[in-house]
Structure 1
C-alpha cells in the first residue's frame, strides 16, 4: 500500500498538514472519536485543554496499536475543540503535533472549534482514519 500526502500548488501553504492524502487500495481503519476519558470511564484533565489532549493522545495510540497501525498510517484527522478562542485552538494543535502521535497530523487534517462535546467536561475529541 502507498500513501501519498501532497499540497497542490494552487492551494495555500499549511502549518504542517497536507491538503490531499491519496491511498492505494488496502485496509482502512476508522477509529471512534477518541476522548479524554480514562480506562475507568472518567473524563480527565478538568478544564486543562492540554491535559485532556494528553489523554486523547494515549487513547488514540492504544486504539491504533490495537489495529496494528501507527501514526504514520493515519490518512485523516479531525480535531474538535470546545472553544472559540483561536489561541486555545492553536495551542491544542501544536500540542498534538508535538505529541507521541504527532506524525498523524501531517496528513489531511481539520481543526474545529465547537460549542459542546458528548461527555460532561469534555473539551476535545479526535477523529482518526488510518490506512494499512
Structure 2
C-alpha cells in the first residue's frame, strides 16, 4: 500500500509562510514522532540557551528518527513547533532556521508554530512534534 500526499492552500485563505493550510494523506501507514528535543545521544541538552544550536540538534534528531521508520522530511504531513520566547521575532527566526535546515521539507506541510513560556529541560528553547506518512 502506498500513500499519496497532497498539500493544499485554498485561494480563499491567506498566504502562508511556506507551509500549507491542508495536508491530505490518501492511504498508508503513519508514524507519530515524539517531541524532538535538542538532546545529544547521551541525553545532554545541546546549546543551553542557544536557539540556533538547539534547532540544528532538533533537525538532526528528527532526520534520524524519520530514517528509523524509512521516511524522510518530505513525508512529514503535520508539524507542531514549540519555541520558548521573550520576543516574537524569535518565532520568525526559528521558522527560518528550521525551514533552511536538513529537516526543512517537513515544514511545507500543515504546520503550527507556538511561542511558549518553557519546555521540559532547563535551558531548552525548542521542541518539534512530527507526523509522517510512511512510504509503501
Q: Same fold (TM over 0.5)?
A: yes
User: Which runs of structure 1 show a deviation greater than 2 angstroms over 4 or more consecutive aligned residues?
Assistant: none
Q: What root-mean-square deviation, in Å, do the aligned CA atoms of Structure 1 and Structure 2 show?
A: 0.7
Distance (Å, rounded) in 1 between the aligned partners of 2:86 and 2:68: 33
The structural deviation recorded for 1:85 is 1.5
Matches within 5 A, 1:1-132: 1-132=3-134
The structural deviation recorded for 1:10 is 1.5
Distance (Å, rounded) in 2 between the aligned partners of 1:17 and 1:8: 12
Cα pair 1:17 1:107 within 8 Å, conserved: yes
Cα pair 1:84 1:114 within 8 Å, conserved: no
The structural deviation recorded for 1:84 is 4.0
SS at match of 1:117: coil
- The CA deviation string for residues 6-33 of structure 1, in whole angstroms up to 9 with x for no partner, is 0011110011000000001100000000
Unaligned runs of 5+ in 1: none
- The CA deviation string for residues 71-126 of structure 1, in whole angstroms up to 9 with x for no partner, is 11000001100114111110010000000111000000000000111112111000
What TM-score, normalized to structure 2?
0.95
Distance (Å, rounded) in 2 between the aligned partners of 1:16 and 1:84: 24
Unaligned runs of 5+ in 2: none
Distance (Å, rounded) in 2 between the aligned partners of 1:101 and 1:34: 12
